[in-house]
Amino acid sequence: MRLLVTGGAGFIGSALIRQLLAEDSDTVVTNADKLTYAGNLESLESVSSSPKYYFEHVDICDAGAVQQLFDRYEPNAVVHLASETHVDRSIDGPSAFLQTNILGTYILLEAAREYIGSARTLEKERFRFLHVSTDEVFGSLGPAGYFSESSRYAPNSPYAASKASADHLVRAWHSTYGLPVLITNCSNNFGPFQFPEKLIPLIILSALEEKPLPVYGDGQNVRDWLYVEDHCRALRRILAAGTVAESYNIGAHNERTNLEVVRELCLILDELQPRQNRKSYQDLIHFVQDRPGHDRRYAIDPTRVTQELGWVPVESFSSALKKTVQWYLANLPWCERVREGKYQGERLGSAR
């Protein structure tokens, strides 16, 4: 398979590329990435010399450059991961989210449509456009129930609205033009190489620096957590066997309040990297003003991908969380390099 991955230098994209090149000898991967603040080629050093890996420094909003990708590499499939992803940043500056997540998706869809329009019949039949989205497009759940593939869209942040818009574009390009698409909506990812603005790496690094550990509001907002390696295995399974025009929700039934996640991280750090004063890192927990429009609860029902495609997560939340903490402890120089001049743990998303 010749695979084009957009956003392949990002957190999920780099994990997918590393996994593919380690486990799938028949796949050649082209990584197209703009290299924004969250894109980091260091995450791909282990595969950078592979003869099956190519990198192109491309902004998906550049239609000419995107078309050249299709012409040069002739992919059998696209995994579209390039996007602006951080809710807090979308509150402070929504424009980049609208540009990349909506306009960029449109440009990719048009390039893919033109490409398969001129492709051989067999290539048309094999081609897939996998659009990776988020559970945040569905808005906020009450205390019970789960998001399913038929849940109504009700995005509450600029980020979620931009991803919802992209989902609708992808469906429209199938309905109108017959583009063979797949859509996934996943829960919160975590794992190695995640940029430190996200909750889990932010808490780990702030704790090690003896900084306050910020928890929004009362800390009772619930998220459904998914280890990035399990997510990548699901994406590969959907790409290989998913039904065209269907969407698949990917979650691991790992519901935790934000406060529970922070406390569990503190307990792991207490074990692996005790503080000099021998106190628990939980003493550093600090409640801050809540995020504007903060969704109360997300939870994914992954029945379709489990029953129809046989995917199940390999890691439990606790085992994956401990692996993640161990990775950050072992890779603190990486963290310093990716943060340098870009993000130092400051509060984002206050809407001021």
User: What fold, for 2-194+225-254+296-316?
Assistant: Rossmann fold (3.40.50)
Q: Return the pLDDT at 85.
A: 92
Region 319-346: mean pLDDT is 85
Q: Return the pLDDT at 344.
A: 46
Is a pLDDT exceeding 70 seen at residue 350? no
Report pLDDT digits (tens) over 10-52. Answer: 999 999 999 999 999 999 999 999 999 999 999 999 999 999 9
Q: Return the pLDDT at 121.
A: 63
Report pLDDT digits (tens) over 55-75. Answer: 999 999 999 999 999 999 999
For the chain, the average pLDDT equals 95
CA 166 to the chain's CA centroid = 15
Is a pLDDT exceeding 80 seen at residue 346? no
Report pLDDT digits (tens) over 250-305. Answer: 999 999 999 999 999 999 999 999 999 999 999 999 999 998 989 999 999 999 99
Report pLDDT digits (tens) over 86-132. Answer: 899 999 999 999 999 999 999 999 999 999 998 776 677 899 999 99
Where do runs of H (alpha helix) occur along the chain? 11-23, 63-73, 87-92, 95-97, 104-117, 121-126, 158-177, 199-208, 228-241, 258-272, 303-309, 317-330, 332-339
Region 154-183: mean pLDDT is 98
Q: For helices 199-208 and 332-339, what crossing angle results, to 10°?
A: 110
Q: Return the pLDDT at 352.
A: 54
In terms of Cβ atoms closer than 10 Å to its own Cβ (0-12, 13-18, 19+), residue 105 is buried
**Strands 255-257, 222-227: parallel, antiparallel or unpaired by DSSP?**
antiparallel
Nearest CA-CA partner of 62 in 3, 131, 111, 8: 111
Query: What is the DSSP secondary structure assignment for residue 98, as one 8-state letter?
Result: I
Is a pLDDT exceeding 60 seen at residue 343? no
Report pLDDT digits (tens) over 193-208. Answer: 999 989 999 999 999 9
Question: What are the beta bridge partners of residue 31?
Answer: 5, 55
Report the share of the chain in percent with pLDDT over 90.
Answer: 91
Q: Return the pLDDT at 347.
A: 46
Q: Return the pLDDT at 122.
A: 64
Nearest CA-CA partner of 53 in 41, 65, 37, 36: 41
- Which residues are known catalytic residues? 135-136, 159
